């Protein structure tokens, strides 16, 4: 079952450089986030349209975008390719590491038993305020 808090929500996070010589590093970083809770299909065309809307909303010129970091989903890969062209997508390292760990542990029965027990303990404490207070 997917809950609203655990379901994926398209979001962006950007670092924009402007006004040279404002900081030690000779540039000022401005970080903005846009989160879109939508019911649209997660097709490459739709995601590309989201990229366009986000850059328009934050007044970011497309030719100023150096790269976009995404997971390895075919829809995300295709959306970045459609929007920025080849060689502009950076794979998300957290997603890659998660895939590696999942693959390495998938067929390891003893490890999975321990991992499932730990997960159950963590879930118990996350769902119980009293148990968390007792810690």
Q: State how far the Cα of 101 lies from the Cα of 86, in Å rounded to an integer.
A: 28
Predicted pLDDT at 21: 41
Q: Output DSSP code: residue 41.
A: -
What does each C-alpha distance from 10 to 26, 35, 51, 80 come to in angstroms? 32, 6, 10, 14
Query: In this structure, are residues 83 and 60 in contact, taking their beta carbons and an 8 Å threshold?
Result: no
Tell me the whole-structure pTM to 2 decimals: 0.62
Q: Residue 3 pLDDT more than 50?
A: no
Model pLDDT for residues 7-56, shown as the tens digit of each residue: 455 555 655 555 544 445 444 444 455 666 566 678 999 999 989 988 88
CB 30 within 8 A of CB 18: yes
Report residue 80 as tokens. Answer: 């970045």
């Amino acid at each position: 079952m997917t809950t609203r808090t655990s379901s994926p929500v398209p979001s962006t996070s950007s670092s924009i450089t402007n006004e040279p010589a404002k900081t030690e590093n000779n540039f000022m970083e401005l970080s903005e986030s846009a989160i879109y809770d939508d019911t649209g299909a997660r097709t490459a065309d739709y995601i590309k349209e989201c990229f366009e809307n986000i850059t328009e909303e934050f007044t970011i010129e497309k030719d100023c975008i150096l790269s976009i970091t995404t997971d390895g989903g075919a829809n995300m890969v295709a959306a970045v390719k459609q929007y920025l062209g080849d060689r502009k997508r950076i794979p998300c390292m957290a997603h890659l590491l998660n895939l590696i760990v999942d693959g390495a542990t998938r067929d390891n029965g003893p490890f999975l038993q321990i991992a499932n027990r730990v997960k159950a303990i963590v879930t118990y404490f996350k769902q119980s305020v009293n148990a968390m207070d007792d810690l």
